Amino acid sequence: MRIERKAEMPRVLVVDDSPTMRKMIMAALRPLQAEFGEAANGLEAIEQLALGKYDAMTLDLNMPDMHGLEVLRYVRKLSSLDEMPVVVISTRGDEYSLQQSLQLGANRYLVKPFQPAELLRIIQTLLAQSA
């Protein structure tokens, strides 16, 4: 007899200092039927990543305590997280922020306000590629 295993729900860490923005991101990603973790700043994000495995992360750049680029730099130095998809979602639409994010290992860069359907499509694609 063959036993079918249910696919595990993806875990997504949503990092943004705005509670409203975190809710908007989670609402956009609701069709994933994912389990969400939340962090209001960079230090909380690192703590969440140390406490459990996440399959993807959305990351704001301008946050108190620790800038998003510092979080990204930290994540990419850890062998356990260096392949985790990271989508930066920022109010900063300048070329420097975009290039810095991509050079440090962000998979994609979106400028707020983002299109919910685009974010969902990007995360779905990245999760499928990393599976």
Sorted by where each starts, the structural domains of the chain and their CATH numbers stand as 11-130 (3.40.50.2300)
Q: What is the pLDDT of residue 1?
A: 44
pLDDT (tens digit, 9 = 90+) per residue, 98-108? 999 999 999 99
> In this structure, what token pair is assigned to residue 87?
């989508």
**Distance from chain centroid for Cα 84:** 9
User: For residue 7, what pLDDT is reported?
Assistant: 59
Q: Which residues contact 23 (CB under 8 A, 6 or more apart)?
A: none
- pLDDT band of 2, cuts 50, 70, 90: very low
Do the Cβ atoms of 37 and 14 come closer than 8 Å? yes
Quick one: average pLDDT of 103-127?
A: 97
Q: According to the model, what pLDDT value does residue 111 have?
A: 97
Write the pLDDT tens digit of every residue in 23-62: 999 999 999 999 999 999 999 999 999 999 999 999 999 9
DSSP 61-119: SS-SSS-HHHHHHHHHHSTTTTTS-EEEEES---HHHHHHHHHTT-SEEEESSPPHHHH
Q: Would you say residue 6 has pLDDT above 50?
A: no
**How many angstroms separate the CA atoms of 66 and 4, rounded?**
43
H or E segment at 36? strand 35-39
Counting residues of the chain whose pLDDT is more than 70, the rounded percentage is 95
